[in-house]
Amino acid sequence: MKAGKIVLSDIESDKKEFIAEHALQNKENLLLSLDIYNSFEEVMNQLVSSFLKELKKQLLESLGNEWEIEVPFENNNVFGRAKVRLHIWKKLWKGKHFIAFSNDKTKLSDFNFFVWREAKTPIKGITETLNTKFIKGCKYGEDIDWYVMADKKYINWLDEDTISLLYDKKEMLDYFKDKLLKIAKIVEPIIDKKFKQ
């Protein structure tokens, strides 16, 4: 087997061959491999749900009761049509603006952070301030003022290393919590100003 990282969706042929040989040794192994295959979706649902629940809890502890967090994904299917998302907004914003992270694909990959708005007109300063004080991102579509991809290490949740991080939780929680809190700290005064006028 070649050295290097293994992506679950593209397991090296010799590893697949080893698993197939083991599965075909007897009927019990064959049925067990079928059970594992049929259970993978539920395993990932529980793993992702557990991660999002803990991330929501830690964010609320850090942000305080002026903020709300929604996880539209809760009790959903990670391989279904719904994206894995987490939205954060200040109660003052009345759900008309939020900070979020989401995947762009239904395959648990291409995770990104963004700042969304309901209004047609953007609030001046959000994109520019995040680009200078945090990470250079871009506008995306008509209602996203700033958008940036997650770091490569955290972008594909079906990668063997990333699944391990999801299971261990701490590093993934620290990464996503840190990014979302930094974005919130930067955009909060800009968006607050609009709603306090």
| Joined tokens for residue 44 | 């990932």
> What DSSP letter does each residue of 69-121 carry, written as one string?
EE-TTTTS-TTSSSPPEEEEEEGGGTTSEEEEEEESSTTS--EEEEEEESSSS
More confident site: 36 or 13:
36
- The CA distances from residue 27 to 22, 39, 40, 41, 44, in Å, are 10, 18, 20, 23, 26
40 contacts 107 by C-beta, under 8 angstroms: no
pLDDT digits (tens, 9 = 90+) for 53-69: 999 999 999 999 999 99
Per-residue pLDDT, 73: 65
Backbone angles phi, psi at 60, to 5 degrees: -65, -35
Q: What is the mean pLDDT of the chain?
A: 87
| Residue pair 165/50 in contact by the 8 Å Cβ criterion | no
For residue 127, the SS3 value is: helix
Give the mean pLDDT of 22-26: 91
Residue scoring higher pLDDT (164 or 83): 164
> What average pLDDT does range 103-131 have in this prediction?
89
Q: Where are the beta strands (DSSP E) in the chain?
A: 67-70, 85-90, 97-103, 111-117, 138-140, 144-149
Query: Do the beta carbons of residue 43 and residue 159 sit within 8 Å?
Result: no
pLDDT classification of 2: cutoffs 50, 70, 90: very low
- pLDDT score at 1: 38
Mean pLDDT along residues 76-83: 70
Q: What's the average model confidence in pLDDT over 24-53?
A: 90
pLDDT of 72: 79
Residue 76: the pLDDT is: 64
Mean pLDDT, rounded, for 174-181: 98
Task: Write the pLDDT tens digit of every residue in 123-145.
Answer: 889 999 999 999 999 888 889 99
Question: Mean pLDDT throughout 165-190?
Answer: 96
Q: According to the per-residue pLDDT averaged within each range, which of 13-27, 51-65, 71-85 is highest?
A: 51-65
pLDDT tier at 82, thresholds 50, 70, 90: low
- Which pLDDT score is estimated for 5? 53
Q: Is the pLDDT of residue 7 over 60?
A: no
Residue 188 has pLDDT above 90, yes or no: yes
Residue 79 has a CB neighbour count (10 Å cut-off) of 14
User: So what's the pLDDT on residue 12?
Assistant: 66
